[in-house]
């Protein structure tokens, strides 16, 4: 079987991607075969390298935004039990391929649409206000030559990471 020579008569330009999207390469196929590179429409907020994160089928491609993380365990700073990020599974029937807010609580992921995500944000703000109110009732910290990990983390957050 012969191959067609490449010429301007048989090379077609890509259509314009949807607004807020771009075309990126994606590697499709099992790890036991070389796979195929194809172009997929990818939202501008997606940070996934779709070649490095090979998908077996094109329907398995997912898009993820930058992860935001918070550790609720000050004594285990290396453990990040809470992450939020934008997520989209274009071929998903559950979210109809729509972008959602993924909330990963210690490897248990829940998806939220816009209304539910805003309600979650309101609940977190109210919870933070409760934490602040309770914290303000505590006695002043005694001077200590050694700061706890939680105190040091809070100091970094308040000073923007300055040493």
* End-to-end CA gap in the chain: 66
For the chain, the domain total comes to: 2
Kindly state whether residues 75 and 17 are assigned to the same domain.
Answer: no
Residue 61 near residue 40, CB atoms below 8 Å = yes
The whole-angstrom separation of Cα 37 and Cα 31 is 13
Stretch 11-31: mean pLDDT, rounded?
91
Give 34's contacts (C-beta < 8 A, 6+ positions apart): none
pLDDT grade, residue 80 (50/70/90)? low
- pLDDT over threshold 70, residue 9: no
- Token readout for 111 is 């998806």
- pLDDT over threshold 80, residue 6: no
- Return the number of other C-beta atoms located less than 10 Å from residue 146's C-beta: 6
Tell me if 76 is assigned to some domain: yes
Kindly state whether residues 40 and 78 are assigned to the same domain.
Answer: no
Predicted TM-score (pTM) of this structure: 0.73
Tell me if 37 is assigned to some domain: yes
Tell me if 158 is assigned to some domain: no
Q: What pLDDT shows up at residue 81?
A: 74
Kindly state whether residues 112 and 88 are assigned to the same domain.
Answer: yes
The position carrying tokens 């972008």 is 99
Tell me if 57 is assigned to some domain: yes
Which tops the pLDDT comparison, 94 or 163?
Answer: 94
Which tops the pLDDT comparison, 15 or 85?
Answer: 85
- Which range of residues forms the domain containing residue 27? 13-61
Q: What pLDDT shows up at residue 92?
A: 85
Alpha helices (runs of H) in the chain, residue ranges in sequence order: 114-136, 149-158
Kindly state whether residues 86 and 117 are assigned to the same domain.
Answer: yes
């Amino acid at each position: 079987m012969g191959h067609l020579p490449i010429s301007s008569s048989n090379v077609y330009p890509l259509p314009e991607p949807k607004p807020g999207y771009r075309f990126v390469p994606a590697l499709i196929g099992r790890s036991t075969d070389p796979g195929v590179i194809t172009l997929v429409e990818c939202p501008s907020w997606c940070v996934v390298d779709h070649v490095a994160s090979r998908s077996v089928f094109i329907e398995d491609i997912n898009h993820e935004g930058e992860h935001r993380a918070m550790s609720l365990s000050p004594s285990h700073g290396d453990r990040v039990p809470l992450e939020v990020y934008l997520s989209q599974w274009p071929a998903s029937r559950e979210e109809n391929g729509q972008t959602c807010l993924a909330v990963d609580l210690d490897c248990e992921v829940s998806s939220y649409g816009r209304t539910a995500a805003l309600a979650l944000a309101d609940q977190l703000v109210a919870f933070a206000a409760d934490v602040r109110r309770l914290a303000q009732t505590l006695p002043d910290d005694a001077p200590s030559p050694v700061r706890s990990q939680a105190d040091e983390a809070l100091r970094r957050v308040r000073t923007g990471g300055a040493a």
